[in-house]
Amino acid sequence: MSTYNSEPVCKVCGAVATLPVYGPDMCQACSDAAWARIEARAKLEEMPLSFEKVITNHRRETIEYEILLGTGGPADRVYVITDFSGAIESAKYQFQDWFQPWTTAEGQDSELVERFAAIVGFYEEG
């Protein structure tokens, strides 16, 4: 038996929720979208091989981190700089061929790379 006083309305999109499978507050489409986001986020979180603090720069009051994505031929990573509150100042996708220095990829979507860095990293206060 339904315990609704009126038609259940999706709290995400406002549609009348006909099949509230995962709870009474979301329609099926919004529930599917929410699960897709959870799965996509889990995949992102599995991407890094390692996450390491590289250096604390006391003069600039920044902390630098490396999110290693792949090793060798070329290796790739996201290099992150935060301020002392742990807020990301920059995140750059970089690659490195054997015996070459790290190189920042051209034409990257810096906002997207920063969002990725925010999801997979743990940034401490300086």
Determine if 12 is a binding residue for Zn ion (CB under 5 A).
yes
Preceding peptide of 74 cis, ω within 30°: yes
Q: Is 8 or 121 the residue whose CB approaches Zn ion more closely?
A: 8
Q: What is the token pair recorded at 58?
A: 């006391």
Of positions 5, 21, 27, 38, contacts Zn ion by CB under 5 A: 27
In degrees rounded to 5, what are phi and psi of residue 25? Answer: -105, 5
Task: Choose one: 30-38, 49-57, 93-101, 103-111; the region binding Zn ion (CB under 5 A).
Answer: 30-38
Number of residues interacting with Zn ion: please give it, by CB under 5 A: 6
Check if the beta carbon of residue 81 is closer than 8 Å to that of residue 90. yes
**Which helix (H) or strand (E) segment is 120 a member of?**
helix 110-120
Determine if 10 is a binding residue for Zn ion (CB under 5 A).
yes
Contacts of range 20-29, beta carbons closer than 8 Å, 24 or more positions apart: none
Of positions 2, 6, 9, 13, contacts Zn ion by CB under 5 A: 13
Determine if 9 is a binding residue for Zn ion (CB under 5 A).
no
Three-class DSSP category at 111? helix
Binding to Zn ion (CB under 5 A): which residues in 57-96?
Answer: none
Q: Which residues contact Zn ion by CB under 5 A?
A: 10, 12-13, 15, 27, 30
